[in-house]
Structure 1
Amino acid sequence: MIPALRQLWRSVGFRLAFYYGLLVAITMLASLAIVYMQTVGVLQQRMVRQVAASVQQLGVRHEARGLEGVAGEIGHLLADDRHSDNEVYLLVDREGRKLAGNLDQMPSSAPDAGDGVHRRVLRGGQGAIAYLVMRPLPDGATLVVGHDLRDQESIESLVASASAAAGIVAVLLLIGGTFVFRQELERSVGAVRRTAARIAAGELQERVAPSGEEDEFALLEQDINAMLDRIESLMDGVRHVSNTIAHNLRTPLTRVLVRLRAVELGLPPDDAQRGAVATAIRELEELAVVFEKLLQIAEVEAGARRQQFAPVALHVIADDVAELYEAVAEVQGIVLRRMPCEAATALGDRDLLAGAVANLVDNALKYCGAGAVVCIGTQTVNGRAQLFVQDDGPGIPAAERERIGVRFHRLDRSTPGHGLGLASVRAVIALHGGQLAFEDAAPGLRVRIDLPGGGD
């Protein structure tokens, strides 16, 4: 439950909706609290005014007609049915004898003269809480006037219940609105994320589908598509230039190599020029390899071979490559170990994947050094097919791992190579919608190919 909530809280849409809903809920609850306080305040003020008016009225009657007039007026007030259910009256003489009123007796804790207080009283044998004001009369009698609070408490309870119900509804609306808002935001953002994932997998022609709306997300979609168009145009331009150079120079380069080999054959074995010609031939052959790899990368990035994808057993490729390089590793004093391979199947081009794995093993043998151990194996994790090549050599600094696979990038310029081998591996893995990860093996380096699982 907690991980699920943490996952939800990471969503910007969920947080925005939650904060907005919380603000609305707090505003609603504050409004209800104000309504409740105002309602209770109005009822309280009206009750106080009514009691004060009754005290004044009975005081005037006492001045005019004495205790008999007050007793008669109390009887009249209780008999008029206007507020008799809530009115509280008690008139006692100086000896404490009841002369009039609907209270059974004087409250045990009598209020101070003129002060309005809440006291428990007895009316017809039933207890109740009442608001009371006591007024001593000149002849020693005592007048108590008040208001039964049961109806007011019922109204207050009703308002409180309504406020609580409204608060619960507000919380439910907050929860429901949060999820609805999050889903709506995820729908808009999800389209952008899915398009970005397909582009990252090599489908550079993909664009964000127009939503048909005229909101901020529609403007964002237009800006993203315009940016992608520009990026694709620039990448196509760079790719076209490099591919054109590689393609157009390959034929003249081949002619030069043929002529140099003919010249080399025509020179006497002891001729001083023969060594210079041989060096030129080697350098031109390396240049031809560079052009060949550039064209191969261009072909892979174009995605033309995606049409030939079929289920490929990575564990079989791992066994074949390990067997192929076993003798080479033995000559170099390196142990090439095939780990117990778990069956792992991916959808792809077998030749391209085999070439990529061979490239990784070749690099491991080239840089790990004599006495090292190189392991190759496969596994399936969460439905994805993985192949790894691991060594216990010097490894690669963490700062350099992100640049591995960039064209012409080499960690050590003093070693032979052109910086295109891992670039071609990265292009092959991207063509298959996979990921190429370089991890610290402590010691050494672990290279992991992660591909979507494919059918058998």
Structure 2
Amino acid sequence: MFFKAANPTMRSAAWRISLWASLAFAIGTMLVFAMLHRFVANDIQRRSDAWLSGEVEVLGDVAARTPKDSLYRRVVGEVAELASREVPNRQRSGAEENDAVFFLQAGESGPAKLWVGSGDGAANLAAIRSTRVVRDVPFDVQVQGASIPFRVASVSIEDGSNIYLGLSERDELHVLRNLRVRFLTLWGAMVLLGFVIVFYATRKMLGRVSEITEAASRIGQSDLSSRVPDTSGRDEIGHLARTLNNMLDRIEVTVHQLHTITDSLTHDLKSPLTAVRGKLETALANGNAEDHAESIGSAIDELDRLTEFLNTSLDVAEAKADALRLSRSEVDLDELLRSMIDLYEPSMSDKGIGVKIQSAGSIKVLADPGLLHRVVANLLDNELKHLPASCMVCVSLRADDRMATLTVQDDGPGFEAGIDRHLFERRVKGRASRGHGLGLAFVEAVVRVHGGSVTASNRHEGGAQLTVMLPLYEAHRQEEASSLALVHG
């Protein structure tokens, strides 16, 4: 349950922005620390080398001036012991007093002439002789049995022997280790705090953007009065909200004017057409025009076709402009299809056209029932008008991948070449068609307004196929719930 609740947050733009910003900050500060760490390490080593070089010169001068008698070892040893005690901030191990510094006098071969330090110095001398020594330049020596290397400075004296002064790098490593631990602790806290601050600020800002998106998504649907919550802020988001609200005001006025114009046009044209039709029916009923009965009947049919053309043209225009007035409700496509096929089956049987349905059962969508009835009616009308006798129409319905799929296919001649790419454009029809070329344009416009899609093609085995896809009712509800959670989360 925790992971399911966390997934939407981790998929949000605020999470990604915070993650990338924190990553950039973490890498940048780590690079700065790496440079600082190197500078501190070099500075500590420079100070250690300076101390070693100075002390080894002093010890070499003392050794050169001290007579080579029985007191030589004692005098030089005490001076070396005093020098070892001058190491600043020396960390003692608790085992030996002089485990951090050693003094060694030895020739090119043979045992050590003088040793001051922990142990007998044999391992130290062996490590020094196995290391390439550069004169007057301190060097690193790894003594066998010691986990930490020594920094050693050397000087030659008149008797041909060399004096070596070694300083353990334990203190330097201890300082650098403390520096790394403290930095990493502070670095982790700063990265975490930065991530929280960026995530909170970004989520708050994108929450206002989500409100704008939610309001914009309702444009063209049933709600044109929705507005973005305006704020008193003068930042870019506040300016965007006010600009979008002004745009929504203009859209609402424009759509209202479109509805007014279409309603007026419908009324102004349908009224005289209805009056003419009424007069023709009256003349036909009175029997005063027996010689013109066929002409009057034909005129009535043409008026009916003109009225249908007018209504469909206005509906297509409104749908193309995303201005259809929708009254959405839950619609069972299986029930709708079966009722429509029952209605059309007698007419199709009279023409010699067979029809069958293959349905996966109850499949529900959120749509305008009246418009959806007209969509199915147009699809079946298209088959009834253009299919020759002895053809079969198969209507199938299934649901998959959050979409309901309605397929109408036949084994007729199919769509004419040259118009298959323009089937959903207005006034596009076949050469033998007596329609106005608005049926499929109306279907495409209505399906698109409902968030679906429609495709048409010729089948390889012959015949035409039309496929309508609409979002399922549950998928639509889940999308609305996700949008609300994103806005108010």
- TM-score, structure 2 as length reference: 0.73
Structure 2 distance, partners of 1:162, 1:409, is 77
Where does residue 26 of structure 2 map in the other structure? 25
Where does residue 301 of structure 1 map in the other structure? 324
Give yes or no for the alignment of 1:77 onto 2:83. Answer: yes
Give yes or no for the alignment of 1:58 onto 2:55. Answer: no
- Superposed, which structure 2 residues align to 1:362-373 within 5 Å? 362-367=381-386, 370=389, 372-373=391-392
Contact 1:128–1:150 (CA under 8 A) maintained in structure 2: yes
Where does residue 319 of structure 1 map in the other structure? 338
Deviation for aligned residue 1:423: 6.1
Letter in 2 for 1:438: V
Residues 139-167 of structure 1 show CA distances to partners (whole Å, capped at 9, x for unaligned) of 12321012111222222233334444456
Where does residue 98 of structure 1 map in the other structure? 113
- TM-score, structure 1 as length reference: 0.78
Contact 2:397–2:406 (CA under 8 A) maintained in structure 1: yes
Cα separation, partners in 2 of 1:23 and 1:448, compared to 1, 3 Å = closer
Contact 1:74–1:89 (CA under 8 A) maintained in structure 2: yes
Cα separation, partners in 2 of 1:214 and 1:387, compared to 1, 3 Å = same
Deviation for aligned residue 1:239: 3.0
Letter in 2 for 1:86: A
Structure 2 distance, partners of 1:293, 1:440, is 20
Deviation for aligned residue 1:118: 1.2
Give yes or no for the alignment of 1:43 onto 2:44. Answer: yes
Contact 2:63–2:76 (CA under 8 A) maintained in structure 1: yes
Contact 2:334–2:359 (CA under 8 A) maintained in structure 1: no
Structure 2 distance, partners of 1:10, 1:371, is 55
Structure 2 distance, partners of 1:286, 1:266, is 25
Contact 1:207–1:228 (CA under 8 A) maintained in structure 2: yes
Q: Is 70-79 or 346-355 further displaced after alignment?
A: 346-355
Contact 1:253–1:284 (CA under 8 A) maintained in structure 2: yes
Structure 2 distance, partners of 1:108, 1:372, is 104
Cα separation, partners in 2 of 1:184 and 1:126, compared to 1, 3 Å = same
Where does residue 328 of structure 1 map in the other structure? 347
Deviation for aligned residue 1:37: 1.0
Q: For 2:125, which of 84, 101, 107 is the aligned residue?
A: 107
**Structure 1 vs Structure 2 CA RMSD:** 4.2
Letter in 2 for 1:366: K
Where does residue 101 of structure 2 map in the other structure? 87
Residues 243-292 of structure 1 show CA distances to partners (whole Å, capped at 9, x for unaligned) of 211102222222223344556654452x7xx7766655443332223344
3-state DSSP class of the match of 2:453?
strand
Where does residue 446 of structure 1 map in the other structure? 467
Contact 1:377–1:389 (CA under 8 A) maintained in structure 2: yes
Residues 168-203 of structure 1 show CA distances to partners (whole Å, capped at 9, x for unaligned) of 556656766676566445423322332233224342
- How many pairs are equivalent? 436
**Sequence identity of aligned pairs in percent?**
23
Q: For 2:151, which of 128, 131, 143 is the aligned residue?
A: 131
Cα separation, partners in 2 of 1:428 and 1:329, compared to 1, 3 Å = same
Where does residue 285 of structure 1 map in the other structure? 304
3-state DSSP class of the match of 1:301?
coil
3-state DSSP class of the match of 2:136?
coil
Deviation for aligned residue 1:345: 3.6
Deviation for aligned residue 1:371: 5.1
Cα separation, partners in 2 of 1:31 and 1:175, compared to 1, 3 Å = same
Contact 1:247–1:295 (CA under 8 A) maintained in structure 2: no
What are the ranges of 5 or more consecutive residues in structure 1 without an aligned counterpart? none
What are the ranges of 5 or more consecutive residues in structure 2 without an aligned counterpart? 1-5, 91-97, 460-464, 478-489
- Superposed, which structure 2 residues align to 1:140-179 within 5 Å? 140-165=160-185, 168=188
Letter in 1 for 2:385: K
Deviation for aligned residue 1:438: 0.9
Deviation for aligned residue 1:339: 0.8
3-state DSSP class of the match of 1:210?
coil
Deviation for aligned residue 1:70: 3.8
